[in-house]
Amino acid sequence: IQIESATLRLLELPLKFRFETSFGVQTKRTILLLTLHADGVEGHGEGVMETLPIYREETVASAEYLLRDVFLPRVLGKTLTSPHDIEGLLAPFRGNRMAKAALEMATWDVYARSLGVPLKDLLGGTRSSVPVGVSLGIQKDEEATVDLVRRHVEQGYKRIKLKIKPGWDVVPVRAVREAFPNLTMTVDANSAYKLSDTRVFAALDEVGLDYIEQPLAYDDLHDHAKLQAMIATPLCLDESILTAHDARKALETGAGRVINVKPARCGGHAESVKIHAVASSHGVPLWMGGMLEAGVGRAHNIHLASLPGFSKPGDVSSASRYWEEDIVNEALEAQGGEMPVPSGAGIGVTLNEDVLSRVTVRHEEVRA
Ligand code: OSB
Ligand code: MG
């Protein structure tokens, strides 16, 4: 395959809900959308970096700069044997795995479409639908939390994840557990706690959570290993895992017993498949994370989540939860807690030009 040119778009999409986490409140998403043009085929990738470096270090501005001025010029016009070549072409540059992932994932889409096969077939996916749960933001009180959980349980979601932060943790989590004794429940702290918060962890350990997601610092596997040794509930790592090496070190040292994979955080599909192999060799379950993606990123996530190691419900819930109108024509909707894998070639979704024209803040063409 040879990629001739690229379109970089910056989108602003209003969220249907106010999403509060330990690191802030989101009411819209600013999305970098990359389209690659190769002989007669287009492929798409969606960045998950935010405008500020509050989840990880990357930002929309850093990614836009790197893609436009550094990464795309190294790839455009080159003949690639497969999307695996992207890793080598970008190897001189450290980190910035979210920016790299937008390009790598768009290349997988181009490649799969040029072969006329669903992306899942190239990645080793086995399922035709993937189990899903929801990630619910911090609410104003316990009653609102229990109500929101009830609405999503009624829609068939297979697991409910509650965002927590210091001062909003044990009380709401216990309230939900009392209302739903058999619910598969998890919490996600997005790095808001310290190892010394022992009272909170001891209390959460009694609630019967499936796992506690990323309680400690985004870059600290060492303290996660110490915490895991102190509690029975498995820890799940999100922010801390960027590579298969990170996954190996985390699992060898006991820093966690579950991994949340987001291909757009980890440099793309190839690295995610490597993480899948590491986790499988340790017998550790994976699940597909989410970053409030629009249709392109969501479709990529669904294809990757069809690999057998993604055995726990993911955060890939129905697109209609997030958006009045999505940027793709196909409806990515879960039924009974199962999200069907789109069946067309590539990621199986097409851009809705009408919606795009309304949400695009700026766009530019990048040529070899
Ligand atoms: O930590 O998983 C996270 C959203 C933005 C940034 C980080 C996270 C999240 C979510 C939402 O939990 C998952 C989703 O519904 O896409
Ligand atoms: Mg998380």
- 356 belongs to a structural domain: yes
Closest by Cα among 57, 91, 47, 51 to 71: 91
Cβ atoms 318, 307 nearer than 8 A: no
Write down the ipTM of this complex: 0.99
Verify that 48 and 196 share a domain, yes or no: no
Q: How far is the CA of 219 from the centre of ligand 2 (A)?
A: 14
At 124-134, the pLDDT tens digits run 999 999 999 99
- CA separation for the pair 273, 223 (Å, rounded): 26
Closest by Cα among 200, 228, 211 to 159: 211
User: Residue 188 belongs to a domain with what CATH number?
Assistant: 3.20.20.120
At 185-196, the pLDDT tens digits run 999 999 999 999
Range of the domain at 140: 121-340
For the whole model, what pTM was predicted? 0.98
At 6-47, the pLDDT tens digits run 999 999 999 999 999 999 999 999 999 999 999 899 999 999
The residue from 120, 158, 163, 312 that is catalytic is 163
Verify that 131 and 100 share a domain, yes or no: no
* High-pLDDT (> 70) share of the chain, %: 100
To test the ligand 1 pocket, which listed residue (18, 213, 241, 315) has its Cβ within 8 A of the most ligand atoms?
315
Residue 68 C-alpha from the chain's centroid: 23
Verify that 178 and 101 share a domain, yes or no: no
- CA separation for the pair 258, 303 (Å, rounded): 20
Ligand 1 lined by 135 (C-beta under 6 Å): yes
Q: How far is the CA of 165 from the centre of ligand 2 (A)?
A: 12
- CA separation for the pair 259, 275 (Å, rounded): 9
Token pair of 349, please? Answer: 């979704």
- CA separation for the pair 313, 183 (Å, rounded): 13
- 345 belongs to a structural domain: no
Cβ atoms 35, 5 nearer than 8 A: no
Determine which residue's CA is closest to atom 12 belonging to ligand 1: 135
pLDDT for 258 equals 98
Ligand 1 lined by 289 (C-beta under 6 Å): yes
To test the ligand 1 pocket, which listed residue (46, 135, 259, 260) has its Cβ within 8 A of the most ligand atoms?
135
